[in-house]
Structure 1
Amino acid sequence: MNENKPVEIEVAGRRYARRAIKTHFVQIGESYIDLVKRYVLPLWQPGDLLSSSEKIIALCQKRVVYKKDMPVGSLARFLSRFASSSTAGIGVNSPYKMQFAINEVGAARVIWAAVCAGVGKLLGHRGVFYEMVGQEVSGLDGFYDHEFEECGEYGIRIPAEPDCVCDEVEAETGVQMMIVDANDLNVEILGHASSVDLDEDMLKALIADNPAGQSRELTPFILIRPLPER
């Protein structure tokens, strides 16, 4: 398991063991089915639940936007100066992510969201901007080369049809999976196999401490295994 992340946790009175699975540096256009077969199946047992980083699935789906294809306008540069930074990843303080937001939902909506976010800050409310522009914008990652130089030139969108992806993985490999957008501040469940019978709060609790990490760990897969009751 990654540094400072416990292997065993207890959720709702049940113990679980979690194993971080190291992979190679996944490239754009690889097959997520092949990745699961190569790295997960040798360790998987019936009853296990696989937690997958959304970035890996999105890269396999070629869900990327390149800096070279997205000229940054004056509005994006202006608005990004007033946005807060975060240790959780790229935010709209990056002109590129702000430009993506404008391209995705339109300038008028972004301006109104920025105004409301400013009022929200005065009232002690955070995250107003992302609530208003939606998950496609809030989930965009990349555009920085702090950990991996290759990631400096493109942004990674959230996966398309994550529930369907999880069902496909289970049909092809037997592995029950969920796709998560997790960092050290927050966890979102983007999708899971239709066979998963745990509710969203339970799924979030299983990875609430972001066991995959968000640095150079190269552990996009976390295998979660229920342990026998004592």
Structure 2
Amino acid sequence: MDHGHLDVPYDEEAHQRPREIEVDGARFERIPIKTHVVLPGEALDPVIEKYALPVLQDGDWLFMTEKMVAASQGRAYRVDEMTSRPLAVWLSKRVVRTTTGIGLGMPETMEWAIREVGTPRILFAAAVSVVTKRFGRTGDFYRVAGTKARGIDGPGYPTIPPYDEMVVLTAAKPRQTSEHVRDVLVGRGRSVNVLLVDINDIGGNVLGSTLTRADELLVARILKDNPIGQGHESTPLGIIRRVT
């Protein structure tokens, strides 16, 4: 089937990466799905049913980006409505900014990291990073602070509005959310698996899914080149479909 002629919300102009990829001798098609901008607190199920359901086939793997899911859970906050404690201001000036964004290098994102994982863990992460930097290691602050802190997204370009002025936290209950979406789709006649992913231009990982661990590792390889982009594409959903 030539999916290039399907009447589906696919952003062909914004997306330049190849539609198919070969992994371990098998070929997989990656189909980005364009949606409207999912706003903070907006219900997730209607978005899935409107945009993904018409495209899905039995056996597909539907993946959802963490930012969209976290926003739908109400875990996105405007920076101009936040007050950062002095510790967050001080620490934010001393962490290494990530290659994919500001990370915790601004008071507002650091403030949320402290709220999410607690002051003791953040201080311990800072202490560890001070020691390991002397031995040429970098990134230990983020590793010790953990997934909830590491996954916080800050505002700025090329983030699509209104998220260019917001801090977005990690999605809550990723596996349970994936199971819920799968059950919704099964109820609508689609036998599929569902994944919640965090991907960017330097790689990504599966945060929760209805797949086995081995298949999750396979997905990370299939999506390693970030086939849905991460700027103004507005493609927070995608499908992995095995073609050979």
Q: TM-score, normalised by structure 1?
A: 0.89
Equivalent position to 2:235, from 219, 224, 228: 219
Residue 197 of structure 1: how far off its partner (Å): 7.2
Indicate how the Cα distance of structure 1 residues 120 and 165 shifts in structure 2: closer, same or farther if over 3 A, else same: same
- Once the two structures are TM-superposed, the CA of residue 147 in structure 1 deviates from its matched residue by 3.5
Match of 2:22 among 4, 10, 34: 10
Q: Residues 3 and 123 of structure 1: is their aligned pair in 2 closer, same or farther, counting only changes over 3 Å?
A: farther
Give the aligned partner of residue 178 of structure 1.
Answer: 195
Structure 1 residue matching 2:162: 3-state secondary structure: helix
Q: What do the CA deviations read for 1:173-213 (whole angstroms, capped 9, x no partner)?
A: 134210001111231211002x5574332121111111121
| SS of aligned partner of 2:63 | strand
Kindly indicate whether the alpha-carbon contact (under 8 Å) linking 1:145 and 1:151 is maintained by their aligned counterparts in 2: no
Q: Which moved more, 1:141-150 or 1:177-186?
A: 141-150
2:3 corresponding residue in structure 1: none
Distance 1:173 1:196, change over 3 A: farther
Structure 1 residues 197 and 182: CA distance shift in structure 2, 3 A: closer
How far apart are the structure 2 equivalents of 1:86 and 1:95? 15
Shift of 1:227: 0.6
Aligned partners of 2:212 and 2:61: how far apart in 1? Answer: 9
5+ residue gaps in structure 2?
1-11, 187-191
Moved over 6 A (4+): none
**1:49 has 2:61 as partner:** yes
Structure 1 residues 112-171: Cα deviation after superposition (integer angstroms, max 9, x where no partner): 312322333343333211121111111111333653342244311111111111111111
- By how many angstroms is 1:68 displaced? 4.8
- Of the three residues 78, 82, 101, the one matched with 2:90 is 78
The equivalences for 1:100-111 within 5 A come to 100-111=112-123
- 2:235 maps to amino acid: T
TM-score by length of 2: 0.84
Q: Deviations over 1:70-101 (max 9, x none)?
A: 31122222221122222312311111111222
CA distance in structure 2 between the partners assigned to 1:11 and 1:152 by the alignment: 35
Q: Which runs of 5+ in 1 are unaligned?
A: none
Summarize the Cα distance change of 1:66–1:185 in structure 2 as closer, same or farther, 3 Å threshold: same
Q: CA deviation at 1:55?
A: 0.8
Q: Look up the match of 2:209.
A: 192
In the comparison of the two structures, how many residue pairs are matched? 227
Note closer, same or farther for the CA distance 1:218–1:114 as it changes in structure 2 (3 Å cut). same
Aligned partner letter, 1:208: K
Is 1:134 matched with 2:146?
yes
